[in-house]
Copies of this chain bind each other. A is one copy, B any other.
Amino acid sequence: MNNKVAIQGIKGSFHHLVAQEYFHEDIEVHECLSFDKLVESLLDKTCNMAVMAIENSIAGSIIPNYALIDANQLHVIGEYYINIHQNLMALNGQRIEDITEVYSHPMALLQTKEFFKQYPHIKLIEDADTAEVAQRIHENQLKGVGAVASYAAAKLYDLNILGSEIQTIKNNATRFVIVQTKNSAIPEEDINKASLKFELDHKRGSLATILNVMSDCRMNLTKIQSLPIIETPWKYSFFVDVTFDKYSDFVKAKSVLEIMAEHFKVLGEYKNARI
């Protein structure tokens, strides 16, 4: 059976690109215009996997996606990194002077706002997906309208690139996770990274104590983030990513964290995609 993989956005979106690169083999893609819909498609078994952006160089963690994973008991079974290349595109024959409105995903507009400072006549408008705007321009032959999207979207929807590599940060890495409703079946020897969540007392030094223990268990912290606990504002929980060489070290760290931290939860154990 082929995997049916939910993506945020439509074909030509960055999520689509990740799905293709991560799974290699033929997959069936399910297009979702929001992360909520993407999670729904896992819960109602329309899909067995989903690709979800989780972190990038500009905005940091995409917290609402962490909340979706946590609240819906999803499991992270893998991660994937791509450098995001943004392009301004429009119908063939249109020049940049003809463009008065550019639509894209809020993150894509954030990544390219420096480029657009040269073109104050262009109004930037937020939309649900990068590729979907490209498709709409093509289907409705919209003049005066531009999209900020991937090179793949320009090819797929027959648009002309008016500005290539227009993201402010040229080396703009975005991290995606692969999630599913079931726990991962990855062999222990392939697991060298984990995403954890826990809560702590507000006592001074409580986080330092936990981090000491994790360091003693040979865990390398690759990310830490305190986060307000929903319904209890300003009481914080922590999202932490760790890498490790030996799964047995991680097993030890887990048993200690279960004792020392409140509501300790493993969001996923998987293979580090970053060297």
Contacts and interface: CB of A to CB of B under 8 A. Distances in A.
A71 to B, nearest CB: 12
Interface residues of A, number: 46
A56 to B, nearest CB: 8
26 contacts: A55-B228, A56-B228, A57-B228, A58-B63, A59-B63, A60-B225, A60-B227, A60-B228, A169-B230, A171-B231, A171-B232, A171-B233, A172-B233, A173-B233, A173-B234, A204-B220, A204-B221, A205-B211, A205-B215, A207-B221, A208-B212, A211-B211, A223-B226, A223-B236, A224-B226, A225-B225
A163 interface: no
A24 interface: no
Chain A interface helix/strand/loop/mixed = mixed
A100 interface: no
A205 B224 CA distance: 13
A222 to B, nearest CB: 8
B212 A274 contact: no
Interface string A229-248: 01111101000000000000
Given A211-B207, A224-B224, A230 B57 contact: yes
A126 to B, nearest CB: 4
Given A207-B224, A215-B204, A233-B173, A64 B274 contact: no
A35 to B, nearest CB: 11
A225 B59 CA distance: 12
Contacts of A207: 211, 221, 224
A249 to B, nearest CB: 11
B57 A64 contact: no
Contacts of A236: 222-223
Contact of A64 (B59, B169, B173, B204): B59
Given A110-B64, A204-B215, A274-B234, A226 B225 contact: yes
Nearest to A175: B234
Nearest to A212: B208
A36 interface: yes
A223 B231 CA distance: 18
Nearest to A83: B233
A48 interface: no
Nearest to A205: B215
